Amino acid sequence: MPVRPDLRDGLPPGRPSRLVAVHAHPDDETLATGLALAHHVEAGDDVHVVTCTLGEEGEVITPSLRALEGDGPALAEHRRGELSRAMGRLGVEHHLLGGARARWRDSGMAGSSAASHPRAFAGADVEEAAALLADLLRRLRPDLVLTYDPWGGYAHPDHVQTHRVTARAVQLLTEEAPGAAPRLYVALVPASWAREDRRWLAAHVPAGARSPAGGPARVPGPEDPYPPNVVDDALVTHAVVDEGALRRQRAALAEHPTQVTLHDGWYTLSNDVAARLPGREGYAVWPASREALARAQGTPPA
């Protein structure tokens, strides 16, 4: 197993760093990069999260809150509250892209009718959104920016768009001040970790475990396909490995009950598929990893 450098690799030693994670919906920040956020907070770094939409199209797994599903404005406000509490648990500062009223909204899953909404984030002009994000990053002056890989982790249209917008925003800053622009990392999972996590789940998820809605938790089998963010180990160049930071990550996930059900060392989403909380996250520098990822995974979504 290769020992990968920390995200601070190459930064001047002896001073706190500033990190900004950019995500599509409430809960994504904690699911995709929550360990890195918690790790950097506990190290004394200045940590921020930018959310691009309020998750109006999310499925609601908590039975007592099921009436919120399909009610975009009501669900958005409820998830805004979940997000605020999760940010408090993580100990990070939060920003909504475009301001408190949210310039864009959740586009829904691929093929959803929500994608045709005039404010759907997946249909946003990338240059407009990137300019707004670049302006925020100029003010925050981060050393590091985190976001999704070009496939958006699991190909959600808003995640893909978030990658495009974030990559373009950092590119704008690099063109303005090449030596002062932040380093951009995309979140990836080494294939060996993904296989190990499935073995762990098979051994630890109790038979008969169920979701709040009553569905059985399903452990993915060794032959089930992996999402696009699972890549060859060699493509993952950096990592955060910190089981001690799981406490913060778990506390933040517990504040997203409409979306996440926590168990002992694992969780489920609306699809009832069990996923591990392993105390480690993988990353690669972007755009340095662009060509290698394209060769390995094919052309990302347009």
Q: What is the span of the domain harbouring residue 272?
A: 18-289
Q: How many residues does the chain have?
A: 302
Rounded CA separation 93/217 (Å): 33
Query: Stretch 95-120: mean pLDDT, rounded?
Result: 94
Rounded CA separation 82/87 (Å): 9
Rounded CA separation 42/87 (Å): 14
Q: Is residue 44 a contact partner of residue 255, using CB atoms and an 8 Å limit? A: no
Name the band, by pLDDT with cuts 50, 70 and 90, for residue 214: confident
Whether residue 300 is contained in a domain is answered as no
Whether residue 8 is contained in a domain is answered as no
Whether residue 302 is contained in a domain is answered as no
* pTM value > 0.85: yes
- CATH code assigned at 233: 3.40.50.10320
Determine the pLDDT at residue 75.
Answer: 98
Name the band, by pLDDT with cuts 50, 70 and 90, for residue 1: low
Q: Is residue 240 a contact partner of residue 7, using CB atoms and an 8 Å limit? A: yes
> Is the pLDDT assigned to residue 94 strictly greater than 90?
yes
Instruction: Give the alpha-carbon dihedral of 282, 283, 284, 286, to 10 degrees.
Output: 160
Whether residue 223 is contained in a domain is answered as yes
Name the band, by pLDDT with cuts 50, 70 and 90, for residue 213: confident
Rounded CA separation 272/147 (Å): 25
Closest CA to 120 of 104, 133, 109: 104
> Is the pLDDT assigned to residue 84 strictly greater than 70?
yes
Q: How far is CA 67 from CA 56, 258, 269, in A?
A: 13, 11, 18
Query: Stretch 287-300: mean pLDDT, rounded?
Result: 94
Radius of gyration of the chain (CA): 18
Whether residue 31 is contained in a domain is answered as yes
Whether residue 298 is contained in a domain is answered as no
Q: How many domains does the chain have?
A: 1
Beta strand spans in the chain (E): 18-23, 46-51, 93-96, 144-147, 183-190, 230-231, 238-241, 261-262, 266-268, 275-276, 280-286
- The residue with tokens 């990592």 is 239
Closest CA to 35 of 296, 281, 299: 281
Pinpoint the alpha helices (H) of 45-190. Answer: 72-90, 126-140, 152-155, 157-176
pLDDT in tens, 156-179: 999 999 999 999 999 999 999 988
**Which residues have a Cβ under 8 Å from the Cβ of 38 and sit 6 or more positions away?**
90, 91, 242, 245, 246, 247, 248, 249, 252
Phi, psi of 105 (to 5 degrees): -125, 165
Instruction: Give me the percent of the chain exceeding a pLDDT of 70.
Output: 99
